Structure 1
């Protein structure tokens, strides 16, 4: 059976695309391993915690700039990839909407950073972090995912990470230089994404046209529900470190971020694997549902085994792994890591189920469940931080991930049984 699966994979064009895509994403996974120990050693855990808060805020605001294009846009491009006129219209309209939102978000965020006391103390760091939003506005990855152009996604990732690493090692030399860390992340995104965006206009013969206000308004209205759900997803991902800093301390935020930076290697991998497989799942569910479910089981089953192997490794060598990041309390952090490994494991189950939920177009169910579970998760985190500190945050995230899996299973069960019987 294993030989048969291996033979299918190596003969499958999708497997070769995955190999190219995986090579590019390797830079996303390796970058924290290279740069975080250096940052902690130069700037300390507390300042690393401050940069983590700035990055978390930027990543949360990204959901406004994206406005659901990372899901709806991918799906629409995937379905319309053979229709040049529709593809060009979706592409230009999406960017017009993103530009309008970017201007509003930059203005509001800048005002908040200068006039709200909590942000004003580190206003330069937070303003520099907004460069990440500009980079995300330019980012054409959503389009490349839709047309399954993995070579350019790989090119984009390599360029951006090389710029980021070069900037950090050249400019972060003393404790006070922590303010430049997030800026270099944003500059790497802007330069790499702009370069690939220009390549897209040339290869796909897109013409820059003015998008009417009515089209922008229509797009905003149609995608609002998915955008609102992504706000909750973003809160789930990035609010914990902000809450740890606000209700705890920057030192606690730094400790949490070190643990997250370790498991984020697999969390990022899981999200990237979702982004790679999702367009294919959508296309096959629409045209060949039997093939779709079979391929879904093969890809995600092998992916879970890979994540499981990684988490066993993290558990066995937890002390050695956290020691690599130069923290002050290594035994404490190693115990935290032994708890945190369950988060990627559960995500390796919930994320494939999410693929089916969205491919079957259960948008209302997904939106409602996401909103409710994120609210519950954040309330739990707020309640447990005073007593259980970082442990409480991890337990809250694990609990909500289990509940999400249960509801996803109940949603897709009827459809998958129907497909399997055909």
Structure 2
């Protein structure tokens, strides 16, 4: 019976060529994401044993800094540019304009941020070796920012970019294993990560220039439009980065080391599982954008077609996390098992987070309501942080996870009301 249902489900989807392309792209991105997590796990103990905990701690801070700077350089291009390219379709002139305009803007961001970052580093870092480490860390930001995932996302051909990403990770692993043994320095780790990304970024952009675009001079209007379009989503990206990195520091004010460690372990596992949905979201977003460019009804149909399976998968995943935690209770540290409510709250957060992705990214952003989504995200994030302070002081760890769930749920309510009003307004006009 299950087999017949699956056959009927996928046979209906396969009739939609674009949907089949979405499924294929999501598969490639998921494999790439899996490799991206697997390789660091393979090299982790090796790196720590050679580098030592003190140097590894410094390297971790540099990586976190690079991640935050990358959010700034990405601006809103990870959503705006794929959307514009997807809507442009076979219009190579327009695709070329979007690619070149985005590349120019990203390059300007990289340059301006580097100047600011260098000044700050010189002002606050006294140790020369550490200063060099942080400045070299910006190479990671540059190499990642030049990697044109957004372009291949827009043309819905993720096989190339996923394959290059896997190659870069494998080269990174080999470089770390070989060179770190010769010289156990932070700079070796940074260069081993940045160099492969520079190589594949150059090759990916070369493919784009040779195969998919014309070398045209973009209009000032095109550059200005992309900049303004991305400004709204930039606020959401920054809010997300701050919120994601605030949980542990806030909890550390009120929790014991044991409570903090237990929460950190649970959060890391569940948030790592949550990242499985990132490549799926990346793959389906251009498809939904294209459908909304036809009509609202086409867009809603597309969001249902792509969003419902995503939410069902999130539900199954969350239930599986809770069941696994219960089954493994005899093998889990007693302090972690005491926080079963943390597991439940964060598992519910995962479900609500995926629902919000469908409502916010796949519907509102694809339907040109990105400014509302950005403001809603900012409001919910601004309220979540006070929630975390209050509930963490009341019940450390458990209260923190409840606050995170409350903030995500608040965002969901705001997004749902907006979508409900859009549908109501459209029905009245009909």
TM-score bin (small chain): 0.7 to 0.9
The TM-score, its normalising length taken from structure 1, stands at 0.82
- Give the one of 358, 379, 403 matched to 1:352: 358
1:111 aligned residue: 119
With over 3 angstroms needed to count, the CA separation of the structure-2 counterparts of 1:291 and 1:222, relative to structure 1, is closer
Q: Secondary structure at the match of 1:207?
A: coil
Deviation at 1:244, TM superposition (A): 6.2
CA distance 1:182–1:306, change in 2 (3 Å): farther
Task: Provide the residue aligned with 1:371 in structure 2.
Answer: 378
Cα shift at 1:284: 0.7
Tell whether 2:408 aligns with 1:404.
Answer: no
Q: Answer yes or no: is 1:232 the counterpart of 2:239.
A: yes
CA distance in 2, matches of 1:266, 1:38: 20
What does residue 9 of structure 1 align with?
13
Q: How far apart, in 2, do the equivalents of 1:251 and 1:41 lie?
A: 26
Q: Deviations over 1:20-57 (max 9, x none)?
A: 43134223134324533752576388876655543333
How far residue 240 of structure 1 moved from its aligned partner, in angstroms, is 3.8
Distance in 2 between the 1:118 and 1:347 partners? 41
Change (3 A) 1:112 1:312: same
Partner of 1:266: 273
Pair 109,251 (structure 1): closer, same or farther in 2 beyond 3 Å: farther
2:30 to 25, 39, 56: 25
Give 1:341's aligned residue.
Answer: 347
Cα 1:173–1:392 change in 2 (3 A) is: farther
**Conservation of the 8 A alpha-carbon contact between 2:164 and 2:200:** yes
Match of 2:144 in 1: 136
Aligned equivalents of 2:253, 2:168: Cα separation in 1: 31
Alpha carbons 2:254, 2:396 under 8 Å: kept:
no
**Alpha-carbon distance in 2 for matches of 1:101, 1:139:** 15
Q: Shift of residue 369 of structure 1?
A: 1.0
Choose which of 99, 107, 119 in structure 1 pairs with 2:107.
99
Q: What's the counterpart of residue 165 of structure 1?
A: 173
Hey, what's the Cα distance between the residues in 2 that align with 1:252 and 1:62?
A: 31
Report SS of the residue matched to 2:276: helix
Is 1:35–2:17 an aligned residue pair?
no
Partner of 1:302 in structure 2?
Answer: 309
* 1:216, distance to aligned residue in structure 2 (A): 4.9
- Structure 1 residues 50 and 381 mapped into 2: Cα distance closer, same or farther (>3 Å)? farther
Partner of 1:204: 212
CA distance in 1, matches of 2:16, 2:389: 47
Q: Within the alignment, does 1:279 sit opposite 2:283 as a pair?
A: no
Q: Name the CA shift for 1:323/1:268 in 2 (closer, same or farther; >3 Å).
A: farther
1:9–1:15 contact (8 Å) kept in structure 2? yes
- Going from structure 1 to structure 2, the CA distance change for 1:196 and 1:303 (only over 3 Å counts) comes to same
Larger deviation, residues 110-119 vs 361-370: 110-119
TM-score, normalised by the number of residues in structure 2: 0.80
User: Which residues of structure 1 form unaligned runs of 5+?
Assistant: none
Q: Could you tell me how far 1:356 is from its partner in structure 2? A: 0.7
Higher Cα radius of gyration: 2
Contact 1:32 1:261 in 2 (8 A): no
SS of structure 2 residue aligned to 1:206: coil
Tell me how far apart the structure 2 counterparts of residues 17 and 405 of structure 1 sit (CA, whole Å). 25
State whether structure 2 residue 79 is matched by structure 1 residue 71.
Answer: yes
Distance 1:181 1:104 in 2: 25
